[in-house]
Amino acid sequence: MLGTDNLVTIIAGDMNAETDECDRFEWNEFKDVFRESNHCIRIPTYYPDPACSECNTAVDHIFYNPHQIKLIENGKAWDTPNGTLKDALTQFGSDHIYIWANFNFHP
């Protein structure tokens, strides 16, 4: 409908998805932009307050249907040059770390 020249951007965060949710989407042929969502590597949720009982194990995901859109690029808010995790959290204003992806529609 929009053609391959139109770009779609998705910014996601604060979803607290767990790894089994990722696996359920993949059974339906959806793809996860960040395939770090396994039991060994996780995109963390950051809790700066040591009094908080939460831990840095929640995972944020962006799922997409590869038959409808094509992944162009993706990134994480804390992957900034000369920046710290604290800087990223201050800039994006969340206790969660934002992730993003750009897509094009398939013709």
Q: How many C-beta atoms surround the C-beta of residue 5 within 10 A? A: 8
> Average pLDDT for residues 17-35, to the nearest whole number?
67
Reported pTM: 0.55
Q: Are 74 and 32 in contact (CB under 8 A)?
A: no
- DSSP assignment of 50-107 equals TTS---TT-B---EE-TTTEEEEEEEETT--TT--HHHHHHHHTSSB--EEEEEEE--
Mean pLDDT score, 12-41: 61
Q: What is the CB-side half-sphere exposure of residue 47 using CA atoms within 13 A? A: 11
Average pLDDT of the segment spanning 78-102: 60
More confident residue, 107 or 21: 107
Q: Return d(Cα 89, Cα 101) in angstroms, integer.
A: 18
DSSP-derived secondary structure letter, 7: E
